[in-house]
Every structure is written in C-alpha cells, then in structure tokens.
C-alpha cells in the first residue's frame, strides 16, 4: 500500500483532540497507513522568512505520522491566508461576492505561498507516495508540484461549496485558478450540486471536453471529478458521549433546564452559518407561538474565528445586538430565551450538550457539508431522539432528507419548522432519526477516506 501524504493549510497534533471537521478527517485518513501531514504550523514569524529549500520545514514524529510544518512570515500570512484565502476564496465560494475584496497583491501572495509550500514538500516525496491536498487555500499546489517535475498521484478535496460558473468567473484570476485543478488526477467535492457546478464551469469557461460522466479533458490532461460527502467518526463520537465530560455536561444541562425545551446551535462565528437569520427565526417562533415563551431556550455556541477579517467583526457586533434585544424584549426574571456563548466549548463536552437538546438549528446560508448536523444526530438517545432543523443550502441536506429542511433566509419558515420540531410526536422522531442514522453510519468518515483514496488510485492518469 502506498504511503499517504496529506497536505492541508493547518497541521495540528494528531494526538490532541481535533477541533474541527477537517482535522478529525485528516487524522483518520492517516491513522491506518501512517504517512506525512504537511502544512503551515499556525505560527507567524515577525521576521521576514529567509531561505527556501528544506530549512523552513520542521519535522516531528507523532506515532506513525510525520508532521512536517513551516511557519509563515506576517506578510505571507496576510497575503495568502487573510487576504486571498479568506477575503476572496471563502466569500466567493460561499456565493458572497459582496464580501470579496479583490487585490492583485493578495493573489500574488497566495500563489507565492503555494509555490513555497510545493518547494518544501517536493524533497519529502517518494515516487510511490499518494498526495492528498485539502481545501481552498491550496488549489494551485499540484500545478506548482508538477512544474517541479512531480509525477505522483495527487488528489484534491474541496471542503467548501462550488458556486455556479458565473459567480466563480467574478474572481479576476479564475482562469488561472481553475485551470490549475487540471494538475490533479482527482478533484473531490462535497455534494452533487457542487459537482454539477464544477463540471459546468469546466465545460463552459475552461472549454473542457466531457469524456464521460466525471471525466474531463483539457490543457493536455485528464481530470476525474466526483462527489465524496464527508462524514463523521460515529464510533469516536459514541465513545466521547460515554466519557465523563460529556455525561457531566448532560447532567448539568438537565438539572439546570429541567422545565425547559432546549434548542442548540454550534458554529464557528462565520457569516456563512446564517446566525443572525437563525436568531431572527427563533424570535419569530416566540412571536408566533407564544406557548414557547418562558419555556424554550436556544443555546448558541459561536466559536470565534478569523477575527482579523473585517466581515467577522461586523458579524460579532450584529450577533451581540440581536441576542441582546431578544433577551431584553422577551426575557423574564426566571427565563432568558437565548444563551449566546461566544467561546469554544471543549469537544469532549459537545455530545452531552447535543443530547440534552430537543432541537438542533443548523441553518447555514451555504455550507460545504456541515458536520454539526451529523454530530447532533449521532449524540441522540435513539429511544427519545431530538429533531434536526437543517438548511437546504448545507451539503448535508442532500443526504439528510428526513431532517426538517428550511430556507435559512426565510425567518417565518424557520419559526414554523422549529415549532414542528418542538411538537413532533415521539414515534415520528424515532422513525426519522433511525433513517438518518443509517445513512450517517454508512457514509461515515472511513467511507469518505476510502472512497476518495480508491478513486484516486484508480483514476486514469493521462
Ligand atoms: C468546513 C466546511 C465541512 C464547532 N464549534 C466548536 C467546535 N466545533 C466543531 C464541530 C464540528 C466542526 O467544528 C465544524 O465543522 P462544520 O462542518 O460544521 O464547519 P466548518 O468548520 O466550516 O468546516 C464544512 C467541513 O469543513 C468538513 O469538510 O463540513 O462545510 O465549511 O466538528 O463540532 N468544536 C469545539 N468547540 C466549539 O466551540 N470543540
């Protein structure tokens, strides 16, 4: 079996509990075979970084995984990460042209850091290695590796959505960016909708020939594309749920809120997650269905994220103001409608929190997949499960058809669906949960890893 080399923007210690979806998934993809995990250390050096070649890479060993990381200079970080990745690619791929800040210098910095990463990675690669590159920060990485003569099999998985071709075409460098995908042997996306958009872009804008379903040809290369919806590690989550931190959390919540109906939202504080709209939907619920006043409490965890990007600061203020108004307009001496917590919650406590709640509100305006939706379901008691209210614009909606789907922009729709969730009879809750869990178990993170790597190994290279 070939060695796997995973490349992602951030590398984290695989023996510490992973914070986000990508880190859990990467850990899982390396666990069995071992291999290298290569990327940015997360450290910013104030000194301008000197030297190319090997000297910037630090290699540590963690079990059967080698962690190869490099620091970025402040300037590299600002151009590649804050500037281009998070102020151009993230908003545009989430359909938010209004938030994109196009700047040629940032595009150049993005390319430069991808070149630098490729230069550092190249000497670590052996001929039979399979390279698996993750996410939007690293789209041109394979093109840079190919330019250095690398002939390894290289696959790319995009964790965020692919918007329609004419939205992508608003990126001034879109031709260069999307063309660079042809240096991969396989490009994976989260959903069928993403796949359709990618294929349409390649056919119309890049004038690729569609050889057959999922196989494209352009610029003298053949590229395979496919949808590989990412899943969670259901067993890992079940064992977290049995841990003391999670059990304590469940008990505390049940004691504290014994006479209440709990709703939960867990998100990074990101404009793609539809948080203001969700809170307004909850407000509408209290207005239209007053029986929920003094009874329903929404616990909203918002983990701080990308605080140096302007749009995130504005969202923070907006949330403070919406939550403040909601509590002061509807709150009672012994009841507050929203518990808004702008902090990280330890991963070990999450299953207990999910389980204590009757309803999860997962209402992103756009999301590649959304793992919180799957985690919430996996944490439920199958004999008395909670109900998932899910945005139709999350990739997860394609798979989780028995959830209550909503349009996240429609606050009245959110209120109605939430009311249905809160009043759903036990029998229906059990039936929906069972059907959803069958799919979550079948398409778990192991399925995702194997499906992607099998397809990469079998991809026709030409
Ligand atoms: C990207 C795509 C895609 C959240 N708050 C806390 C916390 N979390 C954990 C959740 C979950 C993960 O972070 C978030 O995953 P999501 O899938 O919801 O969202 P993104 O971070 O935007 O991830 C997304 C994903 O990549 C994987 O491909 O699904 O569409 O945008 O695991 O539990 N964890 C802890 N404290 C928190 O406060 N410990």
Per-residue pLDDT tens digits for 358-402 = 999 999 999 999 999 999 999 999 999 999 999 999 999 999 999
pLDDT bucket at 319, cuts 50 / 70 / 90: very high
Here the tokens at position 392 are 């139709």
Q: How far away, in angstroms, is 21 Cα from ligand 1 center? A: 5
pLDDT at 311 (0 to 100):
86
- Full DSSP string of 168-226: HTTSTTHHHHHHGGGGSSEEEESSHHHHHHHHHHHHHTS--EEEETTEEEETTEEEEEE
Cβ-count burial 71-80 (b if 16+ within 10 Å, e if not): bbbebbbbbb
Alpha carbon of 361 to ligand 1 centroid (Å): 14
- The CA angle 258-359-384, to the nearest 5 degrees, is 70
Nearest CA to ligand 1 atom 26: 159
Quick one: pLDDT at residue 291?
97
CATH topology of domain 4-231+445-458: Rossmann fold (3.40.50)
41-45, 61-65, 436-440: least confident range: 61-65
The CB of 446 under 6 Å from ligand 1? The reply is no
Quick check: ipTM above 0.90? yes
For helices 411-422 and 275-288, give the axis angle rounded to 10 degrees: 60
How far is 230 from 445, CA to CA, in rounded Å?
Answer: 6
Name the residue of 301, 302, 370, 396 whose CB sits within 8 Å of the most ligand 1 atoms, as the mutation to test its pocket: 370
**pLDDT tens, position by position, 33-42:** 789 999 999 9
Counted residue by residue, the chain has a size of 462
Q: 3-class SS at 152?
A: coil
Fold match flag (4-231+445-458 vs 234-442):
yes
Answer yes or no: is the C-beta of 160 below 6 A from any ligand 1 atom: yes
Q: Which atom of ligand 1 is nearest to the CA of 303?
A: 38
Where do the domains of the chain lie? Answer: 4-231+445-458, 234-442
| Ligand 1 atom with the shortest distance to the CA of 270 | 22
Catalytic residues: 159, 367
Q: What's the topology of domain 234-442?
A: Rossmann fold (3.40.50)
Whether ligand 1 lies within 6 angstroms of the CB of 301 is answered as yes
Helix ranges (H only) for 32-89 are 74-76
366 touches ligand 1 (CB under 6 Å): no
Residue nearest ligand 1's atom 4 by CA: 267
Residue 103 contacts residue 171 (beta carbons within 8 Å): no
pLDDT surpassing 80 at residue 29: no
Can you give the pLDDT at residue 253?
87
Q: What is the mean pLDDT of residues 236-251?
A: 87
Residue 303 has pLDDT above 80, yes or no: yes
11 three-state secondary structure: coil
**Is the CB of 22 inside a 6 Å radius of any atom of ligand 1?**
yes
pLDDT confidence bin for 54, thresholds 50/70/90:
low
Verify whether ligand 1 is closer than 6 Å to residue 86 (CB atom).
no
Does any ligand 1 atom lie closer than 6 A to the CB of residue 89? Answer: no
Closest residue by Cα to residue 403 from 419, 415, 387: 387
CA angle 100, 365, 11 (to 5 degrees): 65
Q: What pLDDT is stored for residue 341 in this prediction?
A: 97
Encoded tokens for 458: 């079998």
Residue whose C-alpha is closest to residue 112's, from 38, 202, 49: 49
The burial class, CB within 10 Å (0-12 / 13-18 / 19+), for 185 is buried
pLDDT (0 to 100) of residue 52? 53
Average pLDDT, the chain: 93
| Alpha carbon of 215 to ligand 1 centroid (Å) | 31
Summarize pLDDT for 178-208 with one digit per residue, the tens. 999 999 999 999 999 999 999 999 999 999 9
| Distance from the alpha carbon of residue 146 to the mean position of ligand 1, in angstroms | 32
Pocket test for ligand 1, best of 156, 228, 371, 395 (most atoms within 8 A of CB): 371
Alpha-carbon distance of 430 to 434, in angstroms, equals 6
Mutate to test the pocket of ligand 1, among 10, 20, 397 (most ligand atoms within 8 A of CB): 20
Ligand 1 touching residue 350 (CB < 6 A): yes
267 CA to middle of ligand 1, Å? 7
Q: Does residue 373 line the site of ligand 1, with CB under 6 A?
A: no
């Amino acid at each position: 079996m070939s060695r796997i080399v995973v490349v992602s923007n951030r590398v984290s210690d695989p023996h510490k509990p992973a914070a986000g979806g990508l880190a859990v998934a990467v850990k899982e993809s390396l666990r069995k075979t071992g291999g290298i995990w290569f990327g940015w250390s997360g450290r910013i050096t104030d000194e301008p970084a000197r030297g190319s070649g090997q000297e910037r890479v630090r290699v540590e060993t963690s079990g059967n995984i080698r962690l190869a990381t490099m620091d970025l200079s402040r300037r590299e970080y600002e151009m590649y990460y804050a500037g281009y990745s998070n102020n151009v690619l993230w908003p545009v791929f989430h359909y938010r042209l209004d938030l994109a800040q196009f700047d040629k210098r940032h595009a150049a910095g993005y390319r430069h850091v991808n070149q630098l990463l490729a230069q550092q990675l190249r000497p670590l690669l052996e001929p039979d290695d399979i390279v698996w590159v993750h996410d939007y920060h690293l789209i041109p990485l394979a093109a840079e590796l190919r330019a250095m003569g690398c002939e390894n099999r290289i696959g790319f998985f995009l964790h965020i959505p692919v918007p329609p071709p004419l939205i992508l075409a608003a990126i001034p460098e879109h031709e260069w960016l999307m063309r660079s995908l042809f240096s991969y042997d396989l490009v994976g996306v989260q959903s069928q909708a993403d796949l359709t958009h990618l294929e349409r872009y390649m056919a119309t804008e890049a004038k690729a020939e569609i050889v057959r379903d999922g196989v494209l040809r352009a610029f003298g290369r053949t590229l395979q594309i496919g949808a590989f919806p990412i899943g969670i590690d259901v067993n890992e989550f079940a064992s977290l749920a049995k841990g003391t931190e999670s059990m304590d959390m469940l008990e505390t919540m049940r004691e504290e809120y014994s006479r209440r109906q709990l709703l939960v939202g867990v998100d990074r504080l990101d404009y793609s997650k539809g948080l203001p709209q969700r809170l307004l939907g909850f407000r509408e619920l209290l207005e239209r269905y007053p029986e929920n006043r003094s009874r329903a409490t929404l616990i909203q965890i918002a983990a701080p994220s990308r605080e140096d990007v302007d749009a995130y600061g504005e969202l923070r203020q907006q949330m403070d103001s919406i939550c403040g108004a909601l509590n002061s307009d509807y709150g009672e001496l012994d009841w507050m409608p929203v518990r808004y917590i702008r902090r990280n919650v330890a991963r070990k406590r999450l299953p207990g929190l999910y389980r204590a709640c009757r309803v999860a509100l997962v209402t992103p305006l756009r999301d590649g997949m959304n793992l919180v939706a799957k985690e919430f379901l996996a944490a439920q008691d199958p004999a008395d499960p909670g109900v998932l209210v899910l945005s139709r614009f999350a990739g997860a909606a394609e798979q989780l058809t028995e959830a209550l789907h909503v349009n996240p922009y429609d606050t009245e729709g959110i209120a109605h669906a939430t009311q249905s969730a809160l009043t759903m009879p036990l029998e229906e809750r059990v039936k929906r949960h069972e059907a959803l869990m069958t799919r979550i178990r079948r398409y778990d993170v192991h399925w995702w890893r194997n499906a992607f790597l099998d397809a990469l190994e079998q991809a026709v290279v030409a």
